[in-house]
A and B are shown apart, each in its own frame.
Chain A
């Protein structure tokens, strides 16, 4: 069963923010989903006519140089942004760990942030309560639960963010290079947890520069460059392909 599907998806970004001239013009620009292409040299094609699908239970790795469009894929799956053309479907509750601490608020305590993040995922309070102890234990922040997280160390921040995202058991988990922080021991723990999620039949999309993890964790990997899929296949083959062209 396909849980994520991209059909001819393109997404451009403007190199510069458009200087909005006439009020009416800029408002009408907002309303049109499919822009007529603006001057070509001013566009960055983050994704250029990309099609792929992910089956339920697959762990898809996404590799490629900086600016290849890897993060854009995650943002599109999680609906944070919309494509300029093409169709995207994603079925199920999505947990996104797009950036360290995304969805956490610095002024709130660890406890409050756990409930905030659960609510962002569309969970009920009682659902969060049943997961609460596991999250705290996984993040190892018992003593700091009632401290505003702006006083947390970056390691604690990372642990909390990861713990909340994975323990909420989303159907699709999006992870973007956020595990580089944290010490060796925590990285191992994250790795084990991701393996466990994978084995429980959930779908993961994992963006990383850590090719070793990609090979160990993913069931399939795509290699992106300049907004296009260069290779799509088993992780070891894709990684080899990537290393050859890099």
Chain B
């Protein structure tokens, strides 16, 4: 109960500082693309180039079962939430360490730092999603009412990522070694998530393991509602949602337990 009241007071404080969250998000976007020639186009180019190379490998060099969906759009729809997760974690996990100048000199709710990385990644996500619409038109993918599931999927994607971000951002302050572990972990997670392959080709004995990854249910749901005109698989999506809620509660709790000491450790 005490923890609950404390949590509410943190959230109130965070709400009071929403202006700072917004400004730091803008700053992150600006600084990231500043002095690059292509600017915000990079948001699209990253998933697009991955899609092209995977299409070449898994559709021409070798054939992978994509359930009758053209491989470019099959992979792109999954690369969107993945790229969001990856960008947010890549920048968010380093956000406290990279802003040590702010953290050691001024006070503000510290969770704003990883959360602004999350929001900046969301902007990239929305921009790169426009290309998906183009692809869907090109491949004559019918749009069904299931598209409204997006209202649940996008927030879930943010909840999962926010949890991971809070946890990692705090841990990186304490254990700098994680700086090297995180990119490796992201790479492993990429292959452990059904992005370049379908969830249906996973052998039974690995299935529980793959499902423990909260991104699995999320990615599969995107595919089902946008490309296959089906509702999400309830079992997959709910395990993803449960994991997401647990992650954000654990992440925020841990973060608030240690963030008062950031200025001393950093």
Spell out A's residues near B (CB within 8 Å): 13, 17, 20, 23, 26-27, 30-31, 75, 78-82, 94, 96, 98-99, 102-103, 105, 107-108, 112, 115-116, 118-120, 122-125
B27 and A98 within 8 A (CB):
no
Q: Does chain A have a CB within 8 A of B205?
A: no
B19 and A107 within 8 A (CB):
no
- The A/B interface has a contact count, at CB < 8 Å, of 78
B174 and A26 within 8 A (CB):
yes
B261 and A108 within 8 A (CB):
no
> What string of 1s and 0s marks CB contacts (under 8 Å) between B227-266 and chain A?
0000000000000000000000000000001101101110
Q: Enumerate chain B residues within 8 angstroms of A78, measured Cβ to Cβ.
A: 106-107
Q: Contact check: which of A30, A119, A124, A125 meets B258 at CB < 8 Å?
A: A30
Q: Does chain A have a CB within 8 A of B63?
A: no
Interface residue tally on B, bucketed by range: 20 to 34
How many Å from the CB of A24 to the closest CB on chain B? 12
Residue of A nearest to B171 (CB): A27
Q: Contact check: which of B22, B23, B105, B175 meets A99 at CB < 8 Å?
A: B105
Residue of B nearest to A125 (CB): B19
B106 and A96 within 8 A (CB):
yes
Q: Contact check: which of B31, B103, B108, B257 meets A30 at CB < 8 Å?
A: B257
Q: Contact check: which of B103, B107, B175 meets A20 at CB < 8 Å?
A: B175
How many Å from the CB of A36 to the closest CB on chain B? 16
> What string of 1s and 0s marks CB contacts (under 8 Å) between B25-40 and chain A?
0010011001000000
Decide yes or no: A108 and B19 within 8 Å by CB, A30-B261, A80-B106 being known contacts.
Answer: no
Q: Contact check: which of A27, A75, A123 meets B19 at CB < 8 Å?
A: A123
B174 and A102 within 8 A (CB):
no
Contacts A20-B174, A80-B104, A124-B19 known; list 17 others, CB within 8 Å: A23-B175, A31-B257, A31-B258, A78-B106, A80-B103, A81-B260, A94-B107, A96-B105, A96-B106, A99-B105, A102-B106, A103-B106, A107-B34, A115-B23, A122-B19, A122-B20, A125-B19
- List 18 interface pairs A-B (beta carbons < 8 Å), by A numbering: A26-B174, A30-B258, A80-B103, A80-B263, A96-B105, A96-B107, A102-B101, A102-B102, A103-B102, A103-B106, A107-B27, A107-B30, A112-B23, A116-B23, A119-B22, A120-B106, A123-B19, A124-B19
Decide yes or no: A80 and B174 within 8 Å by CB, A31-B257, A120-B20 being known contacts.
Answer: no
Spell out B's residues near A (CB within 8 Å): 16-17, 19-20, 22-24, 27, 30-31, 34, 101-108, 174-175, 257-258, 260-261, 263-265
Docked pose: A13 CA to B106 CA in angstroms:
19
Q: Contact check: which of A79, A80, A96, A107 meets B31 at CB < 8 Å?
A: A107
Q: Enumerate chain A residues within 8 angstroms of B22, measured Cβ to Cβ.
A: 119
Q: Which 8 A-B pairs have the closest CB atoms?
A: A102-B105, A119-B20, A79-B107, A119-B19, A81-B263, A103-B106, A82-B260, A107-B31
How many Å from the CB of B104 to the closest CB on chain A? 7
How many Å from the CB of A176 to the closest CB on chain B? 10
Q: Contact check: which of B16, B27, B31, B103 meets A122 at CB < 8 Å?
A: B16
A98 and B175 within 8 A (CB):
no
Residue of A nearest to B16 (CB): A122
Q: Enumerate chain A residues within 8 angstroms of B103, measured Cβ to Cβ.
A: 80
Docked pose: A26 CA to B175 CA in angstroms:
10
How many Å from the CB of A86 to the closest CB on chain B? 15
Q: Enumerate chain B residues within 8 angstroms of A123, measured Cβ to Cβ.
A: 19
Q: Contact check: which of A105, A124, A125 meets B27 at CB < 8 Å?
A: A105
Q: Enumerate chain A residues within 8 angstroms of B106, measured Cβ to Cβ.
A: 78, 80, 96, 98, 102-103, 120
How many Å from the CB of A223 to the closest CB on chain B? 25
Docked pose: A94 CA to B107 CA in angstroms:
9
Q: Enumerate chain A residues within 8 angstroms of B257, measured Cβ to Cβ.
A: 30-31
Docked pose: A119 CA to B20 CA in angstroms:
5
How many Å from the CB of A165 to the closest CB on chain B? 10
Docked pose: A237 CA to B263 CA in angstroms:
35
Residue of B nearest to A23 (CB): B175
A75 and B263 within 8 A (CB):
yes
Docked pose: A27 CA to B20 CA in angstroms:
29
A98 and B264 within 8 A (CB):
no
Q: Enumerate chain B residues within 8 angstroms of A116, measured Cβ to Cβ.
A: 20, 23-24, 27
